[in-house]
Structure 1
Amino acid sequence: MVQTIRIEGEARELAGKGAARATRKQGRVPAVIYGAKQEATLLSLDPRDVMKELQKGGWQSHLYEVAVAGRAERCLMREVQFHPVKDTPLHVDFQRLAPGQMIRVRVPVVFLNEDTAPGLKEGGVLNVVRRDLEVMSDPDQVPDQFEIDLAAATIGASLRWSNVQDQKGTKPVITDRDFVVATIAPPTVEEEVVIQAPVAAPAADAKGKGKGKK
Structure 2
Amino acid sequence: MAGKIPDLEVEARAGTGKGAARAARRNDMVPGIVYGGGEDPQPIQIPFNVLLKRLKAGRFMSTLQNMKIEGQEDFRVICRNVQRDLVKDLPTHIDFMRLRRTSKINLFIHVDVVGEDVSPGLKKGGTLTLVRPEVELMVTAGDIPESITIDVSEAEVGDSITISSVKLPEGAVPTIDRDFVIATLSAPSSLKSAGDDEDETEETEVLEAPAIVGDEAES
The 1:141–1:162 alpha-carbon spacing in structure 2 relative to 1, beyond 3 Å, is same
Alignment of 1:170 with 2:171, yes or no, is: yes
Q: Which moved more, 1:2-11 or 1:24-33?
A: 2-11
Q: Which moved more, 1:56-65 or 1:125-134?
A: 56-65
Unaligned runs of 5+ in 1: 194-214
Match of 1:121 in 2: 123
1:178 positional shift: 3.3
The 1:58–1:153 alpha-carbon spacing in structure 2 relative to 1, beyond 3 Å, is farther
Match of 1:147 in 2: 149
The 1:175–1:26 alpha-carbon spacing in structure 2 relative to 1, beyond 3 Å, is closer
1:182 positional shift: 1.4
Asked if the contact 1:81/1:90 (under 8 Å) is kept, the reply is yes
Q: Could you give the per-residue CA deviations for residues 10-41 of structure 1, whole angstroms, max 9, x where no partner exists?
A: 2153456x865653441323333244587653
For 1:77 and 1:45, locate their aligned partners in 2 and report how far apart those are by CA, in whole Å: 13
Match of 1:131 in 2: 133
1:142 positional shift: 0.5
Write 1 or 2 for the structure with the bigger share of helix: 2
The 1:161–1:132 alpha-carbon spacing in structure 2 relative to 1, beyond 3 Å, is same
- How many pairs were matched up? 191
For 1:99 and 1:144, locate their aligned partners in 2 and report how far apart those are by CA, in whole Å: 16
* TM-score after normalising by structure 1: 0.63
The 1:25–1:150 alpha-carbon spacing in structure 2 relative to 1, beyond 3 Å, is farther
For 2:17 and 2:186, locate their aligned partners in 1 and report how far apart those are by CA, in whole Å: 52
1:79 positional shift: 6.1
Q: Which moved more, 1:105-114 or 1:137-146?
A: 105-114
Match of 2:205 in 1: none
Asked if the contact 2:118/2:153 (under 8 Å) is kept, the reply is yes
Match of 2:104 in 1: 102
Unaligned runs of 5+ in 2: 201-219
For 1:33 and 1:131, locate their aligned partners in 2 and report how far apart those are by CA, in whole Å: 31
1:87 positional shift: 11
Q: Which moved more, 1:136-145 or 1:63-72?
A: 63-72
1:74 positional shift: 3.0
Max Rg structure? 1
* TM-score after normalising by structure 2: 0.62
1:44 positional shift: 0.8
Give % identity. Answer: 30
